[in-house]
Structure 1
Amino acid sequence: MGTRYGVDADGDVEMSTPQPVYEFIKAPRLAGWDQASLIAWNREWEQYVMKIRHRCNVTGESFEGVVATVKGSVEPAMLKTLATYVLKKPVENVDDAEILAQVQKRCKSLKNAFIPDVTTLFRKQLKMDMTVDDCDARVFKYFQAFTKIVEDNGLQALIGSGDVTSPGYKDRMKARCSILVENIQPTMQIERLIKYERRDCKTNDATLFDLILEHARVQQRFHSQAGERTTPQPRAQAPQQQPKRTQKSAKPSHPAGVKKVRAPPRDGCLVCRGSHWLDECPTATSEQRADALAKLRAAKNARQEFVQSKAVLATARPNMVRVNDRTMISRSVVASLAEFSPDLKLSKLEAPVAVYLADGRRIECREKATVALELVTAAGPVHMRDVECLVLDSDVEELLLGNDAVKSLGIDVERMIEQLAGASLLDEEKDELPVGDELVPPNSGEDGVLDQLVDEALANGMPVEHVDRLRSLVHEHGDVFRERLGDDPPALVEPLKVTLADDAVPFRCKPRKYAPLQSAFLREYTAELEKRGFIRKNNAAKWACAAVPVRKPGSQTEFRITIDYRPVNKVTVPIAGAMPNLAVVSSSVRGAKCFAKFDMIKGFWQLPLDVDSQELMSFMTEDTVYTPTRVPQDDVIIFAPTVEEFLQALKEFFIILRDRRLKLSATKSSLFQLEALWCGKLISGSGVRHDPERVDALSVLPVPSTVAELQYFVCASNWLHDSLPDYARVVAPLQERLGLERKRIGRRNKNALNVAVTLTKAEVTSYNDVKTLIKASVPLVFPSPTSELVVMTDASLTGWSIVVTEVQAWDDSLPVDKQQHRMVLCKGGTFKDSQLNWAIVEKEAFPIVKACTDLEYLLQRERGFKLFCDHANLIYIFAPHVELKKHVRDRLQRWAMRLCGLRFTIEHVAGETNVWADIVSRWKPSGVRAAAVRTRSQPRPSVLRPLADEDFRFPALEDIVKAQRAVRTASQSLSVEHQVVNGVIMVAGKMWVPSAARQLLLRLMVVAHCGSQGHRSEHAVFTVLNDRFYIEKLHHKVQRFVGACLLCKHVKGPRVITRVYGPTFTATRRNEMMG
């Protein structure tokens, strides 16, 4: 090792080569646990490690010996807290990897687990710096700023790049590319390129980077060339003259010979929407420029026709309002109204109210008038009575409608724009498949598009060894794919034929008025349909329904056509068919590992329509009536348990499509998925779980401010109720409030329900609890035929619950609550109306019958199922091996007959063990208001159902001792021998019950009379009590008690007299019969 240094004669070390001098690289210190500090430290630490590695590569030093430790870079106080509360271990046991993992986890997670408004965030912080004339640097800086915003806000899980094979990679890339394009100004040209030519840029930010850079270079090059062409040539210098010194000449002028650079227009070129002015457009002709300028001037003149004003929103002081706060009426209008209505009178205000007008003047109002108003709206006239108006001392004949009046109608003027924006969010729910209605010439699926489908299948988890076979299969049947459907012939299927009812009357709607954009869309779209033969003009048609253009989700200018066929549907004979049950159909995919999803081009119709039925489907636009010749088709999902079977199913499916001339959308189909999104649920072979995007969206919704928003939330959450334990109880306050509001409003449509609503504190708590349930929704599994199916039911006074679980390996040595359960289904509800009057035994039976009726598709199985409940009486009522007794109620007998066809075993489980289903035992009734009464006697238990009374308590030893002590001279009054044992008076070894303790005797009689198989006879009651207690004249007391029971049958000679369960009626006049 002596090549780098030597030793001189004195023994000193001499370096043979000059040594470099390095700067001291200091490791960053971590002193804060907030997200911003952690992100900054993580960046500095990565730079520090990179510098150390570079130094070690040059000097040959050991990296481990030079680099500082993460543990040593943390402040001591912070390290102690981190180890104790986050890592939960002693400080000496903490290593660098654990600390670094926690830091990176915090950096890549959302702050406080709250999803911010991403669109607004990037709109404020992400800008393209147009002052940078270097296109490469400008685009590079733009993407670098985007990455920094993502890291600073912990958005990696939502829009981070990550690994290509990681779950949700494609969705994150779509979101990244969408945000990057939205914040480029102007966006029109890039959006068009991505939409029609460069579709790969929708899911690849690297490709998008190249596209934006290429487009920026072209624009910059044209801008530079245009500047050179318009630069004035130097002219001969004129004789120098002394310029006149005026006030304007003192203003600094632009340097001579240099063209002043104009900033690009905000909205882009008027012709091509590029980032240049109209006179610099390279593609616009002189006619296009003149036309664009004319339209611009016309729009400007139209805007100038309206009077512009500015209003300042300020906090009003007491007795001071603005003209838009209170409804006001001028004194001249009051005088005019008084001529027609002499009853109109003015009243003095308690204190003068200062009114500030728009021009700043201050007027004091001292009087008010109460009038009736009629507002003419688009929905019809609205009558308002007893509207208080401040009287203005003015001769102008006008009435100013204030916020106080419109708020009484449910309209909040100051929040109107906010409500409209919120309503659009509910309407623009994302479709599972994108919508496309464009019409282009027919073309087979291009190789690039088909290869992209195969590449997506590989990214979705398709095994690599089967990719080539899938690729060849897709290219072999490439003729069934279309990027967009054209004028292909109709499918080879039986034409749809519609049959009218006998009393059907032709319906022809009135012409509708459409907005300019809708009118242009209808004319262009119907013209293309007519050109391809899908519709024909038919002004003589007797039937015509209205065409309704609907805006596409996420677009303000694009529409798709819908037709209001409700009048025709009312007079047609329904086609026999069954609506499949979602739960039943979903279970058919159990065990599937491969899924494919296809769309049959919903832009217009593939299936033929019978000639006799074509006129019925006619629709009317504002120009004419069209009669279609096709009908629409829906989506298809294919699944299989193995890849081999899946590919075979795909081949058979493609052959059917080719034979029937059906076409698939190449842009909306997916060849392979591990789980399929269907009806808002992610379905796989192992079970069903809800779409995480839908769950996240529902769990962060703000508190509803209108009835429509409340209805939207209740309906959307109800779609998830099968996987939300205890959902019925938690959502009950919201459902009750929604029912009251809808009953008050009367109409059910969304516009009518768009009125303000303020939830109470209890309802807000219920709303937050429902969101908590949604966020923690339970995945549901498909039960295996070889596993044990467990059904747990329970009921309380006000509600019921059903929980169905699966246990794959049942262990008979373990109780049910110790088994390994997997959720299959959960249901719950509340008893309403007459159901609240049922006996406990009937309420306990109801969820069992409900489960066996509604869930028969699950419970009808070869192995049967285990039924657990915590009411012992049901064991004797529903067990198939026990004979049904005659005295069992008719309702229970009917319910018991429904279970006879099922194989099950009923087992009793204690309420504390039946924790899942017994959750309804905590339900409380909504509350009943009752007047307070005062009585000297104790309340008696119900004679009809004493055990159902809430206050009924079974007698205990303490009650008997207390009754004996109440009779102070009881020991002297006994005529039989007795003795005192542990403070209890005993007679012949039996406890003595005083005759004066009437409530205690009544409770003992009730318990002895009510048996597990029904009410006991007089002899049985006497035997039960006589064996345990000494009661004087017991036989007489028992005879009187049993004789008064309304549920027991009585005999009079050979006849059996049945007691009525209600008050008896007696005829009071001739020919009167009581039924």
Structure 2
Amino acid sequence: MDENVLEEFRKQRASRLGSEILKNPKGPVYPLMKEFEDVVSKDPPPQLPPDRGIRHEIDLVPGTKYCVTRQWPLPREQREVIYAFFTAKAKAGMVRESKSPHSSPTFCVRKPNGKWRLVHAYNKLNSVTVPAQTPIPRKDVLLNNMAGCTLYSALDLVDGYYQILRRESDIPLTAVSTPSRMLWEWLVMPQGLSNAPPTFNRLVAQLFRPLRAFAQTYFDDLFVHSRAENGQTAMEVHLGYLRRVFEVMRAKKLYANIDKCVFGAEEIKVLGCFVSCAGVRADPEKVKAIAAWPTPRSQKDLRKWLGLANYLHKYSAGYAGLAKPLSNLLKKDTDWRWERQHQEAFDSIKASLQRAPILALPDESKPFSVVCGASDYAIGCALLQSDEDGHERVISFQSRQLKAAERNYPVHDKKLLAMKYALVKFRVQLLGSRPFVVFTHHASLRTATNSPHLSQRMARWLSFVAEYNIRVEYNRASSMCLPMHCRADPTMSWFILVGSQRIFTIGYAYRIEMMRALPLWCDSSLQVKTPR
């Protein structure tokens, strides 16, 4: 991706930060931020938080004795940071001197911005703590709740852990030592405890549950989204939603970091991707990192790169097929030999992610369609849905490599396996009374349910398919924009894009239209060529 495009994109994002909005009194969000400047600030007031009904509790495994780890020596700079930190927290009433039989050491780690973050080594305490289970928000569900919205805000709750009180009997357990030979114990929830994230997640979920129609929470991140409705503009609705969120934060004494908050933007970053009215797209910084990665020199290098690329697999049609030669290099007892096929696969994945489409968010009120396909070495599928203009948009790509036994299946079984895989991956959207279409380029799948000669495997799969209100349609000579492998050279894979104009439109033409409408979102130098 062009560096100039990225730089322009960064500037556009920075203009919607809370600290920048306060510099523009004429902006629509400015009056609201001034009204709630006690809630949206850089530092929360130094005081003990109120009791909100949820306290952090530590339950130990029966028979646990004292958890003690000696404090180790630290450099002078870290000692000064630790001393200043505890002096401030003691003044705020968040810590007090302790005589606890438990003790954990304190040290510092460097933040990306160059400052120090205080850390407590609660390893022994965490190893004997009974795990607390709480539902963690799913990223896909959170994103789907934003479908159809046009304005977004992202709030970062500051010092969230320090805003939760502790159960009184557990306070001695979190005693920490410092290089100045002091022993402190926390009256609020410190960072480093294994059950701290579930406790904080439970708190924000409870406080903002009445606002869940327009405010999504993910630990210390809060996302507000809106659209025009009831005769009001999207901005008017959005300001009303922000006001309700700020009122809850003021009443419960929660605070947001103004330097990390984004307000009233047409696009925000959500858990590693970017969301807008057009859909979901990959983080361009991550795509740039993948594209700039040098050729791996060892299995360790390759595993690192694949770990980053795998995170964006849903943006790439047929990712599993493309990655197969590289995955083979990571198998046990495989000698490291980087050959042409591996370099081609490496470059193909880079190119695929660089031209990744903007994925649509699903609309539950509209019908879906599915395309699926299989090759000798992989299966893949895509979930589609028409937008307001009648364009078919891709919601998600999914693919995986075939297991050793599955590679021996007949062609018919592989195609049915691909269809079953699609139904499993997109079960949440497809299961229900609304009918949907599955497009395949294997004509016999249309009559599979009526065949009197079914293997046990096919009968088992078709019984699973029977749950769905499904109609199978045949697209002659079309691979549905899914990955296929060249049978003459099974280690080399690419996209075969043939067949109907409808599929071509889904795969390419609409993407070009999105690039024109949103020039900052894609690399303007990218050339999309007609498929061979």
TM-score range, shorter chain: 0.7 to 0.9
CA–CA distance in 1 between the matches of 2:300 and 2:365? 46
Amino acid aligned to 1:585: L
The structure, 1 or 2, with the larger RCO (C-alpha pairs under 8 Å, 6+ apart) is 2
Secondary structure of 1:525 counterpart? helix
The correspondence for 1:863, drawn from 427, 431, 434, is 434
Are the structure 2 counterparts of residues 922 and 538 from structure 1 closer, same or farther at C-alpha, using a change threshold of 3 Å? farther
Give yes or no for contact 2:364–2:429 (8 Å, CA) kept in 1: no
Aligned-pair distance for 1:769? 1.9
Alignment pair present for 1:731 and 2:291? no
Alpha-carbon distance in 1 for matches of 2:182, 2:339: 53
**In 2: Cα distance, 1:597 partner to 1:866 partner:** 37
The partner residue of 2:255 within 640, 663, 666 is 663
TM-score normalised by L of structure 2: 0.76
| Residue in structure 1 matching 2:345, options 766, 769, 784 | 766
Q: SS at 1:780's partner residue?
A: coil
Q: Is the 8 A contact 1:853 1:898 kept in 2?
A: no
The equivalent position to 1:907 in structure 2, one of 473, 476, 492, is 473
Which position in structure 1 is the counterpart of 2:108? 549
Residues 1:846 and 2:417 are matched in the alignment: yes
Q: Distance in 1 between matches of 2:11 and 2:125?
A: 46
One-letter identity of the residue aligned with 2:154: K
Task: Choose from 631, 654, 672 the match for 2:264.
Answer: 672
Q: Within 5 Å, which residues of 2 pair with 1:916-1065?
A: 916-917=481-482, 919-920=484-485, 925=490
Q: What amino acid maps onto 2:141 in structure 1? A: V
Paired residues, what number? 456
Tell me, in whole angstroms, the C-alpha distance in 2 between the residues paired with 1:528 and 1:739.
53
Instruction: Assess, with a 3 A threshold, how the Cα gap between structure 1 residues 540 and 655 changes in structure 2: closer, same or farther.
Output: same
Structure 2 equivalent of residue 626 of structure 1: 184
Alignment match of 2:240 (pick from 645, 648, 651): 648
Relative to structure 1, the CA distance from residue 685 to residue 521 in structure 2 (aligned partners, 3 Å threshold; closer, same or farther) is same
Q: Which moved more, 1:772-781 or 1:854-863?
A: 854-863
- Closer, same or farther in 2 for the Cα pair 1:854/1:505, shift >3 Å? farther
TM-score of the two chains, using structure 1 as the length reference? 0.39
Q: Which one has the largest radius of gyration? A: 1
Q: Is 1:776 aligned to residue 355 of structure 2?
A: yes
2:370, 2:381 within 8 Å by CA — same for their partners in 1? yes
2:143 corresponds, among 586, 601, 614, to 586
1:536 corresponds to: 96
Secondary structure of the 1:784 match is coil
SS of 1:833's equivalent in the other structure is coil
Once the two structures are superposed, residues 519-558 of structure 1 have per-residue CA deviations (whole angstroms, 9 ceiling, x without a partner) of: 332233233323322223335333x444342111152xx3
SS in 2 for 1:779: coil
- 1:562 partner letter: V
Call closer, same or farther: CA 1:625–1:736 in 2, change over 3 Å. farther
SS of match in other structure, 1:479: coil
The two structures, once aligned, show a CA RMSD in angstroms of 3.3
Q: Does 2:452 match 1:893? A: no
Note closer, same or farther for the CA distance 1:488–1:170 as it changes in structure 2 (3 Å cut): farther
| Per-residue Cα deviation, 1:338-381 (whole angstroms, up to 9, x for no partner) | xxxxxxxxxxxxxxxxxxxxxxxxxxxxxxxxxxxxxxxxxxxx
Is 2:50 aligned against 1:471? no
Aligned-partner SS, 1:514: coil
Are residue 606 (structure 1) and residue 163 (structure 2) matched?
yes
Whether the 8 Å contact between 1:798 and 1:923 is mirrored in structure 2 is: no
Residue 482 of structure 1 pairs with residue 41 of structure 2: yes
Alignment partner of 1:478: what SS?
coil
C-alpha separation between the residues in 2 aligned to 1:841 and 1:497?
56
Query: Aligned equivalents of 2:391 and 2:379: distance in 1?
Result: 24
Query: 1:731 Cα shift?
Result: 1.9
What is the SS of the residue equivalent to 2:348? Answer: helix
**Equivalent residues in 2 for 1:157-172, closer than 5 Å:** 157=5, 168-170=10-12
Equivalent position of 1:124 in the other structure = none
Name the CA distance, whole Å, in 2 between partners of 1:923 and 1:483. 61
The secondary structure found in structure 2 opposite 1:791 is strand
2:72 aligned residue: 512
CA distance in 2, matches of 1:612, 1:736: 54
Among candidates 374, 397, 412, match of residue 826 of structure 1: 397
Q: CA deviation at 1:806?
A: 2.0
- In structure 2, the partner of 1:441 is none
Query: What is the rounded CA distance, in whole Å, between the counterparts of 1:529 and 1:758 in structure 2?
Result: 56
Question: Within 1, Cα distance between the matches of 2:344 and 2:337?
Answer: 13
Distance 1:894 1:569, change over 3 A: farther
Displacement of 1:802 in angstroms is 0.8
CA shift, 1:590, in A, is 0.6
Structure 2 Cα separation of the partners of residues 539 and 707 of structure 1 = 50
Counterpart of 1:714 in structure 2 is 306
Identity rate of aligned residues, in percent?
A: 19
Alpha-carbon shift at residue 510 of structure 1 (Å): 4.0
Offset of residue 870 of structure 1: 2.7
Distance in 2 between the 1:637 and 1:761 partners? 45
Residue 453 of structure 1 corresponds to 21
AA of the residue aligned to 2:259: T
Matches within 5 A, 1:243-282: none
- Check the 8 A contact 1:545/1:619 in 2, yes or no: yes
Counterpart of 1:775 in structure 2: which amino acid? Answer: Q
**Secondary structure, aligned partner of 2:382:** strand
Q: SS at 2:447's partner residue?
A: helix
CA drift at 1:588: 0.9
CA contact (8 A) 2:382 2:422 kept: no
Q: Secondary structure at the match of 1:781?
A: coil
Q: CA shift at 1:580, angstroms?
A: 2.6
Once the two structures are TM-superposed, the CA of residue 616 in structure 1 deviates from its matched residue by: 3.4
1:806 aligns with 2:377: no
Amino acid at match of 2:469: R
- Structure 1 Cα separation of the partners of residues 38 and 459 of structure 2: 62
In structure 2, distance between residues paired with 1:805 and 1:823:
5
Q: Is the 8 A contact 1:594 1:643 kept in 2?
A: yes
Q: 1:630 aligns to what SS in structure 2? A: coil
- Unpaired segments ≥5 residues, structure 2: 192-199, 201-219, 228-233, 493-532
| Corresponding position of 2:505 | none
Provide closer, same or farther for how the CA distance between residues 170 and 908 of structure 1 changes in structure 2, counting only shifts above 3 A.
closer
Matched, 1:522 2:82: yes
Distance 1:682 1:550, change over 3 A: same
CA contact (8 A) 1:726 1:920 kept: no
Is the alpha carbon distance of 1:572 and 1:891 closer, same or farther for their aligned partners in structure 2, counting shifts above 3 Å?
farther
In 2, Cα distance between equivalents of 1:869 and 1:571? 53
Alignment match, 2:119 = 562
